[in-house]
Every structure is written in structure tokens, then in C-alpha cells.
């Protein structure tokens, strides 16, 4: 397990290096994160909630889930593996920075067990949306 984790960490570092090089018109991870956390964008979304019915609010929530999924799917295979889940946890949950490696591994494994219906060791886009 430790060898796998070491490999995942090296792959993660490599993915960070490649995601900072922009080769197309597609936004980088940093640009997507900035957009999602932009105060003006958030204010607009919140302001619009008053004018929305339940169906429109659900669509907005789905859009934000899609951004979250795509933001952390660094290899763009429409699946989240353990390393991408780790990145998502560290990005989304400040408390995860204080957890030990064993605690993080356990949380990742629990997430994969919870979401991974086809038992391929990853969470597909469909599996993610079924549970969220």
C-alpha cells in the first residue's frame, strides 16, 4: 500500500506540473478554482437564488458538482482515482491538512467504497452524481 501511495504522490506532482502548462483554450485548474471562489461570481449565484424555483436551484447545484468533479479529474478520464480524491479533500476540507497519511488513506478508501459501484477502484462521473 505504501508503494502505491508513493507512486500516487509522484503522479500527483507530475500532474501538478502538467496542469500549469496551458496548451489549449480549456481553463487551467487554477483558473477554474479562481472562478469557483470568485466573490463576484458567488454573489451573483446567491443573488439569483431568490429568483429561482427549486428546479433551477437543483440545476445550479448540479453545475457546481460538475465543476468540482472536473476540477479534480486532473487526467481528464472522467473518473476520480485515489490521488484525485486526495487533492479534492485537501482543497475542500481544511481539516484534512492535519490528518496523518494513514487517516487520509482510510478516508480515500471509504470514499471509493461508498461511491465505486462497479468496483474498478475509481469513481466515475455517473457514480459521483448518483450519490451527490
DSSP 11-59: HHHHHHHHHTS--SSSPPHHHHHHHHH-HHHHHHHHHHHTT--HHHHHH
CATH class given for the domain over 2-21+28-131: mainly alpha
Lowest mean pLDDT among 57-71, 77-91, 108-122: 57-71
Local structure of 117: helix, strand or coil: coil
pLDDT in tens, 80-117: 999 998 888 776 666 556 778 888 888 889 989 999 99
Report pLDDT for 64.
79
CA angle (16 as vertex; 130, 34 as ends), nearest 5: 70
Report pLDDT for 65.
81
Domain ranges of the chain: 2-21+28-131
Neighbours of 67 (CB within 10 A): 14
Q: Specify the pTM.
A: 0.56
In the structure grid, which three cell numbers stand for residue 103, read together? Answer: 487517516
pLDDT > 70: percent of the chain: 53
Q: Which residue has the higher pLDDT, 84 or 55?
A: 84
Predicted confidence (pLDDT) at residue 6 exceeds the cutoff of 70: no
Predicted confidence (pLDDT) at residue 16 exceeds the cutoff of 90: no
Contact 29, 74 (CB under 8 A): yes
The Cα-based distances of 9 to 35, 72, 117 in angstroms read 26, 15, 25
Amino acid at each position: 500500500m505504501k508503494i502505491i501511495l508513493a507512486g500516487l504522490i509522484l503522479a500527483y506532482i507530475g500532474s501538478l506540473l502538467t496542469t500549469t502548462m496551458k496548451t489549449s483554450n480549456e481553463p487551467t485548474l487554477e483558473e477554474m478554482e479562481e472562478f469557483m471562489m470568485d466573490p463576484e461570481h458567488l454573489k451573483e449565484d446567491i443573488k439569483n437564488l431568490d429568483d429561482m424555483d427549486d428546479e433551477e436551484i437543483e440545476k445550479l447545484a448540479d453545475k457546481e458538482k460538475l465543476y468540482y468533479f472536473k476540477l479534480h479529474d486532473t487526467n481528464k478520464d472522467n473518473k476520480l482515482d485515489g490521488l484525485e480524491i486526495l487533492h479534492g479533500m485537501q482543497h475542500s476540507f481544511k481539516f484534512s491538512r492535519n490528518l496523518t497519511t494513514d487517516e487520509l488513506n482510510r478516508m480515500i478508501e471509504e470514499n471509493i467504497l461508498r461511491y465505486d459501484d462497479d468496483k474498478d477502484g475509481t469513481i466515475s462521473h455517473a457514480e459521483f452524481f448518483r450519490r451527490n
